[in-house]
Each structure stands twice: as C-alpha cells, then as structure tokens.
A and B are shown apart, each in its own frame.
Chain A
Amino acid sequence: MEFTDRELWTVLHGLGLGTLFLLAFGGGLAGLYSLSSRLVTPEGVAERTPRLLIGSWAMAIVAWLTVISGTFIAYPWYRATPPEGIDRTVQSPELLDYPRYWLLASDRTAEWHRLGMEWKEHVAWIAPFLATAVAFAVLYYGAQLVRRGEIRRAAIIFFTLAFVAAGVAGLFGAFITKAAPVA
C-alpha cells in the first residue's frame, strides 16, 4: 500500500481541507444562528462568541488553502498536455496520466471536463471571498453581533453561499477524481 505525492496532495486538498471546511461551516452556521438575544443569555453570548470567531476564521483560512492548493498544485497535473505520439482521441492507458485529455477523448466522459471541471475550477474561488467577509464581520462586532440582526442574517446567507460554492467544487472534484484520477 502506498501513495504517490500527487495522491497525497489531492487527498490533502479534497478530503483533508474539505472535511475541515465542512466542520467549520457546521460550527459557524450553528453559532451565527444561535447568536440571538432571543435564544441565549448575555453569559451565553460571551461564551459562544470566541467559538464563533474561531469557526468563522477557520472556514475562511481553510477556504483559501483549498483553492490555492487546488489551483496551483493539483490543477496543473489535471491539465498537463500529453506529449506528441500519444493519441488524444482514444482513452488509452498512456492517456490516463493526462486526466483532462482522457476525459475529453470520449463523449461518455467529456462533460465531466466541459461542465464539471470548468465550473469547479472557477466557482470554488468565490468561497474564500464570502467566508472572509463573514469572518471579518464576526471579528469586527464580536459579542455585539447579537444586537445586529441584519448583519447576522446576511452573514448566514453568505456563509451558506460559501458552502454552496465549495460544495459544487468538492462534489465535482470527487466525481472527476473517480472518473480520471490524478495519480
């Protein structure tokens, strides 16, 4: 049993950071939702705020690490161009080392690139923008967020949209890796 460097990086990018993102999203969303004067006492707000701050910043930092590692480390392996002499129209074992071209070589798999990868590689970058804006709002207001219902609700919407963006990218990433692994 062994992993190649590429497999380790893709596992770190997708599974490692993806799991942390999911955990941070769950904690952050629950924290934002419950940070209401109707739901918690002043002591409860003081107790929850540091946890919310950690959760929201963890989500933002993980989102940045995920898109940077995905774009600048894993993505070049995916889009690498096969050398002359390898037929790009047949899904041969030689072409399997070049996932983008392997997927495009068959009508059965081409949409994984044309729709899946084309959307994934771009939409993922929206997640860190949204998560960072939310983390800043939590940092800026801290416990005062309990008196800023409109900002708390906006933060919940942005947090959820960040999760949707990352979710689309993660889901297509898993399917594409299954169809044509970077190895």
Chain B
Amino acid sequence: MQDLQTKPNGPVAAAFVAAGVGALVLGIFVVLNEVSTDISNFLKFDANYGLGSGVGPLSGKAILATIAFFGSWLGLGLWVRAKEVNFGRWFAVSLVLVLAGFALTFPPIFEFIVELFPAAE
C-alpha cells in the first residue's frame, strides 16, 4: 500500500534487487570459471585489458559483477523511478538472489556443480 507521506519506493527496491543481481552474477562467474578454460581465460581482465596485475580470473568476476550491480540498478531504477512497488515481493526476490550468490561462492557448492559438467576441468 502506498504511503502518501513519503517518496515512491521504486528506486530503493531497484537498488536492493540490483545488489542481488550483482551477487548472483558473481556466483555464476565463479562456477563458469571452473567449468570452462575459455571462460576462465576471458575472465583474466588483468591480462586481457590491463585492469590490475597478477589478479587472474578474479579480476573479471569482480568487474563483471560490479557492472551487473550498477547496470541493473540503472535499468531497474529508470523503470520504477516514480512507482510505488510491492516492496515485500521485490525484497524477497533480492534476498533469493543474494542467497544464491552466497551459495555459489561457497567452494563445496560450486565444486559440486562443476562436477555435474563432464567436460569440466
């Protein structure tokens, strides 16, 4: 229900979901880095684009997750900037995304997922 005494909650809901998107993208690239040598080489942004030195694939994972965070925040923010959204639902989505991101960065979980791919190294 809209609280007429305050600003619309859309921009804040967008920020929360964007944090979840950043966390999930990070987790996905953690898994992909282990699954594919090609992706692992692509994620070496330090060697490929000069962003850092000696960081390895972590440079790509961190930078892409950060771009996903700010990019999705911008996109979602523009979409709902003047809207009052169902914050409980948006927050539930953001929480699921964040927890998925946490899970995918946990080594026993991402190693289990990697084992499901026969071609994984």
Contact = CB atoms under 8 A, between A and B. Distances in A.
A25 interface: no
Contacts of B55: 71-72, 75-76
A79 B56 contact: yes
Contact of B62 (A115, A125, A137, A165): A125
B35 interface: no
B59 A72 contact: yes
Interface of A: 67, 71-72, 75-77, 79-80, 114-115, 118-119, 121-123, 125-126, 129-130, 132-133, 136-137, 140-141, 144, 147-148, 150-151, 154, 157-158, 161, 165
Place the interface of chain B in its size category.
Answer: 35 or more
6 contacts: A76-B55, A77-B54, A121-B58, A132-B69, A144-B5, A161-B98
Given A72-B59, A140-B12, A147 B107 contact: no
Contact of B59 (A71, A115, A118, A122): A71
A132 B88 CA distance: 19
B42 interface: no
- List 6 A-B pairs, minimum CB-CB distance, nearest first: A76-B54, A122-B105, A129-B19, A129-B22, A133-B19, A133-B15
Interface string B50-80: 0011111011011001100100000000000
A183 to B, nearest CB: 16
Residue picked from B5, B53, B65, B102, most chain A C-beta under 10 Å: B102
Contacts of B12: 133, 136-137, 140-141, 151
B82 to A, nearest CB: 13
A80 B56 CA distance: 10
A121 B26 CA distance: 11
A158 B54 CA distance: 32
B19 A67 contact: no
Interface of B (DSSP majority class): helix
Given A71-B59, A133-B16, A140-B11, A125 B26 contact: yes
A151 B9 CA distance: 9
A154 B102 contact: no
Contacts of B5: 144, 147
A133 B102 CA distance: 17
B43 interface: no
A132 B15 contact: yes
Contacts of B88: 150
A163 to B, nearest CB: 13
Contact of A119 (B9, B18, B23, B107): B107
B3 interface: yes
B56 A141 contact: no
B65 A125 contact: yes
A144 B62 CA distance: 34
Contacts of B62: 67, 71, 125
